[in-house]
Amino acid sequence: KKLFPEKLGRTLIFTPRPGPARGSVGPGPGRAVPGRWAGAGPGRTFFHPWLRDDFEWVYSDQPHTQRRTLMLKKYPVIKSLMGADPNEILVVTSMVFTQVLACYFLQDSSWLTIILMAYIFGGTINHSLTLAIHDIGHNTAFGAGVKNAWKNRYFGFVANLPLGVPYSVTFKKYHIDHHRYLAGDGLDTDLPTEWEGNFFYQRSSETPLPKTPTHYEFKNWIVQIIFNLWIYQSFGGKALAYLLIGTFLSLGVHPIAGHFIAEHYMFVKGVDTFSYYGPLNMLTFNVGYHNEHHDFPFIPASHLPELRKIAPEYYEEVPQLQSWMMVLYDYVMDPQNGPFNRVRRKFNVDGKVVKPKEGSSYSEEHARLGKNSDHDPIHPDIEQSNSSKTAFKPSSNVIAKSFLHASRN
């Protein structure tokens, strides 16, 4: 059967497909199917640029707000999943203690051992702690509310200690905008800037609006510096290097670092967010349940699988990634998987998505904004622009049912 033309790259994706009923042999809904090479050429190198030279600009609101409303109306029990997760406190504290213990045992090791252990063992823990900080930033350790806010902030300091770099408070401050203005131009700090996408073309960068440092950030720095000095004085420079190298390596080419790309890069045209349900979630505080997380940011990571069990129909029709490792491979080798392969939106001063003016065509409005796209999820009947350089065919809608419709054609 013909694979979806909308799928990008060879990354394995769960996608609704027509086929035999459950229990029979052959591809069917929810089965894993490989994508295809969407771009031409052997891959991207310094002399083989990405096929896209602009983002996928859309006028649609992010899907998570509407889906959250529908799910709460149908399943009020979802609210019971929100709140504090005391087990998270125990798990994070154990991870921090493990890293301190590793510093003790590695203080007299060779540099080769330090680097290998930093990548394989310490880096995995440190990357996991960055995702613990992510969850704590949503007030899941002690719960929401003014009385618990400071507890979550200070516990974020604890989770931050083995990273060697103060991170927890600043991350939370900007991460809020990632949820509120998903794919928002100049607002969502998760988006690559034009400078990143056009490094070799030397275009100007777009920096999200800076925010004034808070007293929590200064405290985060002070606590982190004191901890680093204690590690250095107690176990030596190699122990401190073990922590810092682990943080640096784990946030780059590392098996669990694939989630950075997997979460929001556009593997299916017009889709903002992708989930991954594989075993690496056990090491990453279920960050793979990313659609679920964006639908309900205040549900602790440990409860996200339960959310999917309560309302499976809202996620079974949504494309899902099968492998973070394949995501990393495709990002390097497939010329269409570059920094511009992201959905992007314009927001007005009221925080609303900028949409076409009444009476103007989609292509005219994009020309006014100086952007290119061949995809309009809000007005699929309007004449589309042909200026996009993307190789895969446009999808007419980002709603999950559109994939079922496309699979029948």
DSSP string, 347-393: B-TTSPBP-PPTT--HHHHHHHHT---S--SS-TTSPPP-----SSP
pLDDT tens per residue, range 235-263: 999 999 999 999 999 998 899 999 988 98
Query: How does the average pLDDT of the chain come out, rounded?
Result: 74
Mean pLDDT of 167-183: 82
Say what the pTM is.
0.75
Q: What is the pLDDT of residue 230?
A: 98
* Angle made by CA atoms 338, 250, 64, in degrees to the nearest 5: 55
Mean pLDDT of 275-299: 95
> What tokens were used for 69?
């409303």
Helix, strand or coil for residue 140?
Answer: coil
Q: Are 135 and 296 in contact (CB under 8 A)?
A: no
In tens, the pLDDT along 4-34 reads 334 444 445 554 443 333 333 333 333 333 3
